[in-house]
């Protein structure tokens, strides 16, 4: 979200789990370091720490530590966001030369390369003159007949406890109401994303300040006020809108097991609970003003950035809890999707800004991909809306320079004239242009789905119909019509039957990219190290092993290739449908433009042929070059209106063919072939679906061998059809917790399955190890408790530390007191104290090993025992004064210890024998 770097990755996210805090006063020994980072050994790996001169920006993406160009994983941030730590078992870190912060989405981008020097993409000129669809008969962004009354409510910065966050959060919102509207009105709730929380200068700066509430002298950033455009457009047309604040979640979600998705969902439902009271019995800040004015059975949710994942989770959580609110429409705007959730039953449109510099992998695409066939009989429509020239931040005026009260930025930056996303490039939208597009699509979607204003159907049916207020914006929509209004012919996610492919054409099912493919039977779709350019196929950190979208990859070397899909008897009359549609995209390893013919054949052998290029630019590579996460390889709509199928008996369509007669050789992806018509369908909380939950378990580590712990994945009730879900362990598993990934299938009537996780025992004192069992991509069910929490309890005694006095000579230099541990430990054992003069004087006869001789004498002394060892160091430096003198003494008083048992204070005596 608020990115200061244009680099951003899409591995997704993880909270660093399983690493105990290094609370000792003495740091473990450094094995590699620079001015800003260091590497220290652990029993099972290495701890990497990066220190920043300024706090890391607060963004939707997650921070990763990259070593010599290789991202190692998601880093744990300190509360002030100046220190990032990561534990790795990769031995390559020992040879580290460069450690830096990157963001989830930058994988594979050339480190340090400026966007100013990147050449234009080969199709950029095509997109500057892209085809434009017809204007809508009514503009969804236009103001309606009602005046707007706005008000705010603030029940306190810590008014509600969010279990998913384990902290208290504010209940604050801005209300937009249609003045004079009669009767209950549909309610739309807006939720902003992850942005900086406070601005200004603190009155009393402190390193241990909590991220929320704002410290004295600083003010909360009013991100919730940044959506006046769409809120006003909706309110003037008769809709109630509430935009809510989520600063507390942004401040604390770096410690949340799911990056705050559950907490954001809980916050939305807490606000809806307030409005249930205020619209029925009144009270609170509004008295009886809203009694009878809100229809809580007709609710829409818009979530921006991490708020997008929050509203998706809220729709499912509401259904899990019996559908107490009628959440019927969800719009994730530039969203994150870290855990591969689905949102069945509810109308959904995902807005994907092409120049997103924060969630640059457009991971919200997976909400559409994962949901579209996740539930048999799902009657809700869904779509994606890709907006060329739009960045991540500018949909919110409080994240836009020149409009925000707090500092803000363009998350895509570099050469202002660089194609295709430079601020002054012809294809880039200005902030106001982007906000107008946002208003048109947000308002149009909710007016269509909540108000049943069907004049906006063409805006979301894939025909690329335009809203006048969206101006020059190039927008591409992919749509899945409601089930009753479509006839699926082939999803193209499984091998085709024998004889379906002929000529010099191959058709291969693929999924994933390069080495990230996780199904041995499925080939990868792309060779790329930059997951940012493969939104369908990059993996999510919480669900890294869940297979991504499978499609069919066509490759041909002649003009006689044919892929034939036969239409079964009983489905051949297609007169009631408006169009034949499928998704397609050119293979990035091939030509930037390609073409196919679509041939529709009836029972008399008559055929209609339509070139893809005549109706769609889906087979034209999207703009940009390969060095900045562009072009995005997105499947787009090929939509052939049925009236174009001239001469074919639409009562008896026997086959649909994709032919290679347009281009002699080429390669392309295809998916989701079928006939359909636009329509509203039926959208409501999916309360009838069974719910999947993972148990949580606690287990003792044990002393010998490997034992197991059992999680149970349960269905809330038996299902009459098979239910499936992917499960995997997640977190910093180390050597103790086994890496498990399974695809569970519940047979009809089956309500629970066991997932066994191996636990490796040891006899060394260790930190307790938390980890997760994550459920993702369910089929014919909802996710309820989608994260099972595991905890491995260390059951080994804390070793005893013994420290011995020191006898040495003047010429010894750096020496150590005796340090012995009663048993090896997996922890750093560290201890510290002060040096005190006896007959020996500091800086004359001895000194601390870190004393550089400037300023007052440094009397601190600290020591350690490395993990896995029983001896360590507690060092001092002995100074040779060249004078004959009697033996002298000084003392080391140990006052603090971590990781071992030692009675403190412990006083050690050092005796220096003169050697002159």
CB contact at 8 A, 32 and 93 = yes
Reply yes or no: is the peptide bond before residue 250 cis, omega within 30 of 0: no
Q: Sorting pLDDT into bands at 50, 70 and 90, what band is 32?
A: low
Q: Are 803 and 819 in contact (CB under 8 A)?
A: yes
Q: What is the pLDDT of residue 670?
A: 98
* Cβ neighbours, 10 Å, residue 13: 26
Contact predicate 271/327, CB 8 Å: no
CA–CA dist 400, 221 (Å, integer): 12
- Cα separation, 761 vs 740, whole angstroms: 17
**Quick one: pLDDT band at residue 28, thresholds 50, 70, 90?**
very low
Q: Is 786 exposed, middle or buried (0-12, 13-18, 19+ CB in 10 A)?
A: buried
Mean pLDDT of all residues belonging to the chain: 91
- Torsion, Cα 392 397 403 406, to 10 degrees, reads -80
User: d(Cα 174, Cα 228) in Å, to the nearest integer?
Assistant: 10
Pull the structure tokens for residue 155: 């029940």
Among residues 198, 691, 134, the alpha carbon closest in space to that of 459 is found at 134
pLDDT digits (tens, 9 = 90+) for 244-271: 999 999 999 988 999 999 999 999 999 9
pLDDT at 555 over 70: yes
Query: Confidence class of residue 354 from pLDDT cuts 50, 70 and 90?
Result: very high
pLDDT value at position 772?
95
| Per-residue pLDDT reduced to its tens digit, 183-230 | 999 999 999 999 999 999 999 887 677 899 999 999 999 999 999 999
Model confidence pLDDT, tens digit, residues 449-501: 999 999 999 999 999 899 999 999 999 999 999 999 999 999 999 999 999 99
Structure tokens given for 635: 């499947």
Distance of CA 410 to the CA centre of its chain: 20
- Residue 41: the pLDDT is 67
Give me the pLDDT at residue 21, please.
Answer: 34
Q: Are 698 and 601 in contact (CB under 8 A)?
A: no
CA atoms of 896 and 873, how far apart (whole Å): 15
pLDDT digits (tens, 9 = 90+) for 577-619: 999 999 999 999 999 999 999 999 999 999 999 999 999 999 9
Is residue 446's pLDDT more than 90?
yes
Alpha-carbon gap, residue 332 to 309, rounded angstroms: 7
- Cα–Cα distance, 132 to 126 (Å, whole number): 12
Query: Token digits for 145?
Result: 């007949």
Residue 42: its pLDDT value, please? 65
Query: How confident is the model over 660-697, as pLDDT tens digits?
Result: 999 999 999 999 999 999 999 999 999 999 999 999 99
Token duo for residue 124? 């950029």
What is the distance in angstroms between the CA of the first residue and the CA of the last residue of the chain? 68
Report the pLDDT value the prediction gives residue 810, as an integer from 0 to 100.
92
In terms of Cα–Cα distance, which of 728, 727, 750, 747 is closest to 738?
728
Task: Judge whether residue 284 has pLDDT over 60.
Answer: yes
H-helix or E-strand containing 442? helix 431-449
CA distances from 664 to 442, 561, 818 (A): 42, 10, 79
Please state, in angstroms and as integers, the Cα–Cα distance from residue 122 to each residue in 425, 588, 615, following that order: 16, 11, 21
The per-residue pLDDT for range 521-549, each reduced to its tens digit, is: 468 999 887 768 999 998 888 999 999 99
Express as a percent the part of the chain with pLDDT over 90.
Answer: 78
Buried b (16+ CB within 10 A) or exposed e, 620-635: bbbbbbbbbbbbbbbb
Question: Nearest-CA neighbor of 828 among 16, 90, 93, 29?
Answer: 29
Q: What is the pLDDT of residue 34?
A: 60
The 10s digit of each residue's pLDDT in 380-400 is 999 999 999 999 999 999 999
List Cα–Cα distances, 78 to 81, 85, 211, 257, 463, in angstroms.
5, 8, 10, 16, 48
φ, ψ dihedrals at 368, nearest 5°: -70, -50
- Cβ(684)–Cβ(326) under 8 Å? yes
Separation between Cα atoms, residue 183 and residue 811, nearest integer Å:
93
| pLDDT single digits (tens) 308-347 | 999 999 999 999 999 999 999 999 999 999 999 999 999 9
- Per-residue burial over 427-438, b = 16 or more CB atoms within 10 Å of its CB, e = otherwise: bbbebebbbbbb
β-bridge partners, 806: 910
In the predicted structure, residue 113 carries a pLDDT above the cut 80: no
pLDDT tens digits along 72-101: 777 888 777 888 888 776 776 777 888 888
Select the more confidently predicted residue: 509 or 15.
Answer: 509
CA 209 – CA 899 distance, rounded (Å):
27
């Amino acid at each position: 979200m608020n990115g200061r770097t244009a680099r951003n990755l899409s591995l997704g996210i993880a909270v660093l789990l399983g690493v105990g805090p290094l609370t000792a006063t003495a740091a473990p020994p450094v094995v590699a370091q620079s001015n800003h980072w260091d590497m220290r050994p652990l029993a099972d790996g290495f701890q990497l720490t990066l220190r920043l001169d300024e706090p890391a920006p607060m963004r939707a993406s997650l921070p990763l530590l990259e070593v010599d160009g290789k991202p190692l994983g998601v880093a744990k941030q300190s509360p002030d966001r100046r220190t990032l730590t990561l534990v790795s078992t990769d031995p390559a870190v020992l040879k580290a030369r460069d450690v830096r912060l990157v963001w989830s989405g930058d994988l594979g981008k050339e480190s340090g390369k400026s966007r100013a020097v990147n050449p234009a993409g080969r199709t950029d000129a095509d997109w500057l003159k892209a085809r434009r669809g017809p204007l809508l008969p009514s503009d969804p962004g236009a103001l309606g007949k009602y005046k707007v009354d706005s008000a705010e409510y603030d029940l306190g910065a810590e008014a509600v406890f969010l279990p998913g966050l384990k902290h208290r959060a504010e209940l604050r919102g801005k209300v937009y109401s249609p003045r004079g509207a009669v009767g209950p009105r549909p309610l739309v709730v807006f939720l902003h994303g992850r942005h900086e929380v406070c601005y200004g200068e603190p009155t009393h700066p402190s390193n241990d300040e909590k991220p929320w509430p704002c410290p004295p002298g600083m003010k909360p950033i009013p991100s919730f006020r940044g959506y006046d455009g769409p809120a006003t457009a909706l309110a003037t047309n008769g809709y109630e809108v509430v935009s809510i604040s989520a600063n507390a979640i942004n401040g604390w979600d770096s410690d949340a097991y799911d990056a705050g998705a559950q907490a954001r969902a809980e916050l939305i439902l807490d606000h809806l609970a307030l409005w249930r009271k205020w619209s029925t019995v009144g009270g609170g800040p509004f008295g009886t003003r809203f009694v009878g004015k809100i229809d809580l059975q007709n609710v829409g949710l818009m979530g921006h950035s991490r708020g997008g994942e929050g509203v998706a989770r809220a729709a499912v959580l509401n259904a899990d809890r019996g559908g107490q609110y009628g959440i019927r429409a969800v719009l994730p705007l530039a969203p994150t999707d870290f855990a591969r959730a689905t949102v069945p039953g509810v109308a959904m449109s995902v807005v994907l800004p092409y120049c997103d510099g924060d969630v640059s992998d457009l991971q919200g695409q997976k909400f559409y991909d994962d949901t579209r066939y996740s539930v048999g009989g799902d009657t809700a429509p869904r779509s994606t809306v890709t907006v060329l020239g739009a960045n991540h931040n500018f949909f919110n005026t409080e994240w836009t320079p020149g409009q925000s009260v707090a500092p803000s930025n363009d998350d895509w930056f570099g050469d202002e004239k660089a194609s295709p996303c430079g601020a002054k490039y012809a294809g880039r939208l200005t902030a106001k242009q982007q906000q107008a597009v946002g208003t048109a699509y947000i308002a149009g979607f909710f007016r269509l789905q909540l108000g049943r204003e069907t004049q906006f159907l063409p805006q979301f049916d894939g025909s690329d119909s335009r809203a006048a207020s969206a101006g020059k914006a190039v927008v591409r929509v992919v749509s899945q019509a409601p089930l009753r209004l479509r006839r699926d012919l082939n999803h193209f996610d499984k091998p085709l039957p024998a004889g379906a492919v002929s000529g010099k054409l191959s058709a291969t099912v693929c999924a994933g990219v390069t080495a990230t493919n996780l199904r041995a039977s499925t080939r990868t779709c792309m060779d790329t190290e930059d997951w940012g350019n493969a939104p369908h196929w990059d993996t999510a950190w919480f669900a890294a092993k869940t297979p991504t979208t499978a499609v069919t990859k066509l490759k041909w070397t002649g003009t006689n290739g044919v892929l034939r899909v036969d239409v079964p008897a009983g489905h051949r009359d297609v007169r009631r449908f408006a169009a034949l549609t499928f998704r397609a995209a050119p293979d990035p390893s091939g030509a930037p433009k390609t073409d196919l013919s679509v041939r529709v054949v009836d029972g008399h052998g008559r055929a209609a042929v339509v070139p893809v290029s005549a109706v769609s630019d889906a087979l034209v590579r999207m703009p940009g070059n390969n060095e900045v996460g562009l072009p995005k390889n997105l499947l787009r709509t090929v939509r052939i209106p049925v009236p174009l199928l001239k001469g074919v008996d639409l009562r008896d369509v026997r086959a649909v063919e994709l032919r290679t007669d347009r281009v002699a050789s080429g390669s392309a992806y295809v998916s989701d072939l079928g006939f359909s018509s636009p329509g509203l369908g039926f959208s409501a909380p999916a309360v009838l679906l069974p719910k999947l939950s993972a148990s949580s378990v606690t287990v003792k580590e044990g002393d010998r061998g490997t034992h197991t712990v059992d999680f149970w994945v349960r269905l809330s009730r038996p299902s009459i059809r098979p239910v499936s879900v992917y499960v995997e362990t997640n977190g910093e598993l180390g050597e103790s917790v086994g890496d498990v990934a399974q695809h569970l299938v519940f047979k009809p009537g089956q309500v629970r399955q066991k997932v066994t996780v191996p636990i490796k025992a040891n006899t060394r004192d260790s930190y307790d190890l938390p980890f997760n069992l994550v459920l993702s991509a369910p089929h014919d069910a909802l996710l309820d408790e989608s994260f099972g929490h595991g905890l491995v309890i260390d059951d080994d005694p804390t070793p005893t530390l013994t420290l011995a006095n020191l006898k040495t000579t003047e010429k010894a230099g750096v020496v150590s007191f005796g340090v012995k541990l009663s048993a090896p430990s997996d922890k750093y054992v560290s201890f510290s104290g002060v040096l005190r003069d006896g007959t020996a004087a500091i800086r004359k006869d001895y000194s601390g090993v870190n004393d550089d001789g400037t300023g007052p004498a440094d009397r601190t002394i600290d020591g350690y025992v490395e993990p896995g060892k029983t001896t360590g160091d507690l060092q001092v430096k002995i100074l040779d004064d060249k004078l004959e003198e009697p033996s002298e003494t000084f003392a080391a008083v140990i006052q603090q210890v971590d990781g071992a048992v030692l009675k403190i204070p412990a006083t050690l005596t050092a005796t220096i024998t003169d050697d002159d």
